[in-house]
Structure 1
Amino acid sequence: MNAPPPPPPYVMLNGQGTQSGNYAPPPPPPHRRNVPCYNSDYYPKKSGRSGCLRCICCCYCILFLLIFIFAALALYFYIVYQPKMPSYKVKGLDLKSFDLLPDFSLNTAFLVSVEAENPNKGIGFTYEPGSSVIVEYTDTTLCTGALPSFHQGPKNTTMIRIELKGKSEFGSGLQQALQDSESKGKIPLLVRIQVPVRIVLGDFSTRQIHVFVNCSLVVDNLAPGKKIGILSNTYKFHFQL
């Protein structure tokens, strides 16, 4: 007879294994968790970031402090000095020559009287070289000149006399327009003034600013040696730093 087969090394009972003989199943491997390794140099340090924030905050604080100081100085200046704009008025216009030449050019000489009034107390003005005065008729320049350089103190009114001379093209169309205006007794002229000025506060002088004055006049005649009457005038002012 054949011999029976050897018994198995283990049998299963209720889903669990029991050892039989010398064989033992290997234990299950332990559950391990791989923790990634990070390089500390990859991320910026907190100390450097906080240092940048402190620097930005310090800059903003300095900026706000400067704005506050300038605002306080401007308020003090306004309360103490109460600044007002100076005024300029054309008070007189004398025609010295108005000669039409055969080549249709016009030689003109004017004497313009300008009243400059400084209503401020404690504030003066220094009128510097580089000014210009222009008299125009219907966008045609008749003559040019310049204001004298002088200092105007507080609460002062100064009368300035300006000599203007020029030669301009004066065609038949312009002559006819001028004759029509003279017949009506209303001749429109434009006096443009540009002057560099410094504001003076005691011993302190500001940087140079440019004052522009446009004076639109209507006069009754342009006859040499005859008194010119100013029928109306309109002024426009603006400044440029």
Structure 2
Amino acid sequence: MAEWVPPPSEKPNPPPDHPLPIEKPKPLPDNQPSLSSGTYVVQVPKEQIYRVPTPENAKLAEKYRNPPPRKSPCFSCFTRLGCFLIILVVLLATLVALVYFITRPKSPTFVIKQVQVRDPHPTSPHHPTHEYHIKLISKNPNTQMSISYQKGGTAFLYYKDKQIAKGKPRPSQQSHRSTTFQLALSGSDAKLPREIQKSFKGKGSKAGVPLSLSIDVPVRLYLGSMKLWVMRVAVGCDLTASTLAKGTRVVSHKCHAKIKT
């Protein structure tokens, strides 16, 4: 039987008697980049460190360095107040327009009840003018709106397109449904037509004296108890008086009125 023999142990090579020289790495030329990798620590003196901010930080620094001028608080207050007033005016105008188009106010109607001619100086030849007193009644056809006549109107009386008197309409009685006017018109100093002069003496035409009355008067509209806007009413009447002497009466009349928007 064969006997097992262990393998001979491997022994390390003995170091050489003379160590090999270590070669130093050759410096690379300046134009050739280094291919070696690693971590390098470079120490620079503190006095030579310069910090360049990023563009975002540069803009922020410039903003802090030169802050924009601050607006006055009064200017901002006035701006807000102006915007508020503009919005308020627009809302009010819209509300007024809406009320007007919903209600559609109708023009009042006028009726002439009486015409009188007075001579304040009958015995004086230096005062040939006359006074014309006319009574009118205005009716309000609007059921939801009331009309209040204001001061500042004008009234003119014509004979064949020739003005013979003028004055101011003044309401004597006002209510929700009707208004009574007493017009006192002063005669013109100019020479009157021959037909008018004859009529003062009761010698006019049997057909009567044709006259025209023109009135322009401001009115205030009310919707219930709410006060609305002021408008103007233009009134035109064609009438025929029996005479301009004492005891005159209205033979015929026709009036039309229009509300001016």
Q: Which TM-score tier does this pair reach, normalised by the shorter chain?
A: 0.5 to 0.7
The structural deviation recorded for 1:147 is 2.0
Residues 86-165 of structure 1 aligned to structure 2 (within 5 Å): 86-97=108-119, 106-148=128-170, 152-154=174-176, 156-165=177-186
Q: Secondary structure of 1:141's match?
A: strand
- Give ranges in structure 2 of 5+ residues lacking alignment: 1-90
> CA 1:210–1:100 in structure 2 vs 1: closer, same or farther (change >3 Å)?
farther
Please tell me whether the aligned partners of residues 172 and 181 of structure 2 are also in contact (alpha carbons under 8 angstroms). Answer: no
Q: Secondary structure of 2:102's match?
A: helix
CA distance in 2, matches of 1:236, 1:119: 13
Choose which of 233, 236, 241 in structure 1 pairs with 2:256: 236
Name the Cα RMSD after superposition.
Answer: 3.4
- 2:195 counterpart of 1:170: no
The aligned amino acid for 2:133 is L
Structure 1, residues 158-184: CA drift from partner, whole Å, max 9, x if none? Answer: 32222221233126xx21576498133
Percent sequence identity is 24
- Which protein shows a greater Rg? 2
> CA 1:151–1:197 in structure 2 vs 1: closer, same or farther (change >3 Å)?
farther
Number of paired residues?
165
TM-score, normalization by structure 1: 0.57
CA distance in 2, matches of 1:100, 1:141: 25
TM-score, normalization by structure 2: 0.53
Please tell me whether the aligned partners of residues 118 and 153 of structure 1 are also in contact (alpha carbons under 8 angstroms). Answer: no
- Residue 14 of structure 1 corresponds to none
> CA 1:129–1:151 in structure 2 vs 1: closer, same or farther (change >3 Å)?
same
> CA 1:186–1:89 in structure 2 vs 1: closer, same or farther (change >3 Å)?
same
Residues 216-235 of structure 1 aligned to structure 2 (within 5 Å): 216-223=238-245, 226-235=246-255
Please tell me whether the aligned partners of residues 136 and 142 of structure 1 are also in contact (alpha carbons under 8 angstroms). Answer: yes
The aligned amino acid for 1:137 is Y
- Give ranges in structure 1 of 5+ residues lacking alignment: 1-65
Please tell me whether the aligned partners of residues 106 and 167 of structure 1 are also in contact (alpha carbons under 8 angstroms). Answer: no
Residues 25-104 of structure 1 aligned to structure 2 (within 5 Å): 73=98, 77-78=102-103, 83-97=105-119
